[in-house]
Amino acid sequence: MALPKYLECNLCGSQQPYEPFVPAICKNCSAQWLEARYDYEAFKREILRGLPNRPSNMWRYQDVLPLNAPASLDLYPAGGTPLWLSQRFAPPLGLDSVYIKDERYGPTSSFKDRQAAGAVAAMLENGIREAVVASTGNAAVAYAAACARAGIKLWVFMTSLVPQEKLREAALFGAEVIRVSGNYDQTKQIASQFAQRRHLLYDRGATSIPARESMKTIAYEIVEQLGWKAPDWYVQAVSGGMGPLGVYHGFKELLNMGLIDKIPKTAIIQAEGCAPMVHAFKAGRDVAEAVIPETSIIILSTGDPGKIYTYLWQITQQHGGAMESVSDAETFSAMRALAKSEGSAVEPAAAVAFAGFEKLVRAGAIQPNELVVINSTGHTFPVEKHVMGDQFAVDVHLSKDQTPAPREGLQAALENLDEKTTSVLLVDDNADDALLIQRLLEMHKSYRVYHAKDGWEGLAQARQKLPDLIVTDLMMPGIDGFGLVEELKLDPRTKDIPVVVVSAKDITPEERKRLNGNIEAVYQKGSLPPRRFVDEVVQVLEEKSAE
């Protein structure tokens, strides 16, 4: 058992119980910097024993992660990434002890795999089967992959400025992708309100204990890979800043256990066109002012870091560190240099960290004799465009520019989104019948209509898509409509989805009894004109959405 014993506020020191998925806000002083506390003495004994029989991924450190019984879950295998000594990138700068923490070896080639693994494991443990996230790219893809393995339906909200490959990749893993015409802060706003309207879990990133705690496993791995030694510097490119905040917490736990003798200095690197943290840091302020992002590196385009900057600023004041920004040109130059010198191809968002490292070395902030670890993450050659079509996302328009959306515009967008995301699954081996119903539904409203050609495919799509309504034929090869309905009602994920049954044959009293209580309605094929039948289906949808 590894649930936190309690949460402790870093500002006022008060303690409170840990509650999964409740924003980590101090009930005494309202601070948002609460840290989980575990049985560190027991864990230290395991470390001194060499962590026997532990996996070589982030679950190696499950004693200090907020899960009750991780061994009983089929956990997503994130973490366990290599630590490379730079052979040709860093030495020309005069440094011989620069290591690359290569997070590209995660399931989706991003350090966000850790965040997704921790958050989704906690969802599984707490019976959550549908969730919402907002992301600038990599987190969405990581959550989509982790949710696919866990059987959790995921709604992903991303700004339309995100490279299409990232959106396609999330869709490839089965996530419902909502593309928002607006900036990231607007995207988070509409994602949060969408989740509230549908009574779904909205993963809040930095204020979510499962998400934030997972990041500290990077620190544990670095220290173990260095022979239980802390580096002098930890360098990471940031958007919102949750990553280095979590990594710092890992170093802090190791220091408190007496396993390292210092906490590394933290280097926070931002893209020049979206660097609110750097602006505040260089001005000596502990609060960052929001900016409108103006960078082609969209994955790092969080314009308002909020309280996270203040916490990172306090860390640099206490333990040393720096915040620096780099231009897009400097980023692309570092990206090419890293590929040519180390054979390591990273995305621009990761290259920002290497460009910032070069800048800090040349400025004398990082000394030649210091041991440095740089977080490297993200792939450069996505291929999802070759397997995903163009209709993989729902579009939501908030405003033409990057200014905050007016309240009435947001309300209209949410109402429009409710309509666009209403989905119907048609299960029918007669493709012509299914196509006719689909066209009539799409003429009625902007429904999303999926088609399964038999009962087995219908069952699989129902579990993945979690549609708002299922319309199924009774007579199909393989598992028929009766078996499909029974399987749907046995599965906690699909048992509450309304089902409308259509049949080409007369239904016997025994068959009606078998269906009774499990469906919304049953219709005889041909008993109603197709348009009238679709009107009946729409009425069922509207009645269910009003409940």
CATH of the domain at 287: 3.40.50.1100
Continuous segment of H or E residues that includes residue 249: helix 242-256
Backbone angles phi and psi of 235, in degrees to 5: -115, 130
- Contacts for 413 with CB less than 8 Å, ≥ 6 apart: 190, 396, 397, 398, 405
Q: Are residues 179 and 261 in the same domain?
A: no
Q: Are residues 350 and 405 in the same domain?
A: no
Q: Are residues 345 and 400 in the same domain?
A: no
Q: Do 347 and 331 touch, CB atoms closer than 8 A?
A: no
Q: Render the burial of 23-34: b for 16+ CB within 10 Å, e for the rest.
A: ebbbeeeebbbb
Query: pLDDT tens per residue, the chain (547 residues)?
Result: 578 999 999 889 999 999 888 888 889 998 878 899 999 999 999 999 999 999 999 999 999 999 987 767 777 889 999 999 999 999 999 999 999 999 999 889 899 999 999 999 999 999 999 999 998 788 899 999 999 999 999 999 988 877 777 888 888 898 999 888 877 788 888 899 999 989 999 998 767 899 889 999 999 999 999 999 999 999 999 988 889 999 999 999 999 999 999 999 999 999 999 999 999 999 999 999 988 888 878 778 888 888 889 999 999 999 999 999 999 889 999 999 999 999 998 888 899 999 999 999 999 999 999 999 999 987 654 433 433 445 556 666 666 555 555 555 566 666 667 666 788 899 988 888 888 788 777 777 777 888 888 889 999 889 888 888 898 888 888 888 888 999 999 988 888 898 888 887 787 888 888 888 888 888 877 677 777 777 878 787 777 666 6
The two tokens of residue 448 are 């999303």
What's the structural domain count of the chain? 4
- Residue 290 forms part of a structural domain: yes
Q: Are residues 205 and 244 in the same domain?
A: no
pLDDT 10s digits, 3-32: 899 999 988 999 999 988 888 888 999 887
Q: Are residues 403 and 442 in the same domain?
A: no
- Residue 345 forms part of a structural domain: yes
- Residue 384 forms part of a structural domain: no
Q: Are residues 233 and 185 in the same domain?
A: no
Q: Are residues 351 and 223 in the same domain?
A: yes
- Residue 383 forms part of a structural domain: no
Q: Are residues 358 and 296 in the same domain?
A: yes
Cα–Cα–Cα angle for 386, 387, 389, nearest 5°?
90
Cα–Cα dist 440/532, whole Å: 10
Q: Do 394 and 421 touch, CB atoms closer than 8 A?
A: yes
Cα–Cα dist 416/397, whole Å: 10
Q: Are residues 496 and 524 in the same domain?
A: yes
- Residue 417 forms part of a structural domain: no
- Residue 516 forms part of a structural domain: yes
Query: Which range marks the domain in which residue 10 is found?
Result: 1-69
At 538, which CATH number? 3.40.50.2300
- Residue 469 forms part of a structural domain: yes
Q: Are residues 53 and 4 in the same domain?
A: yes
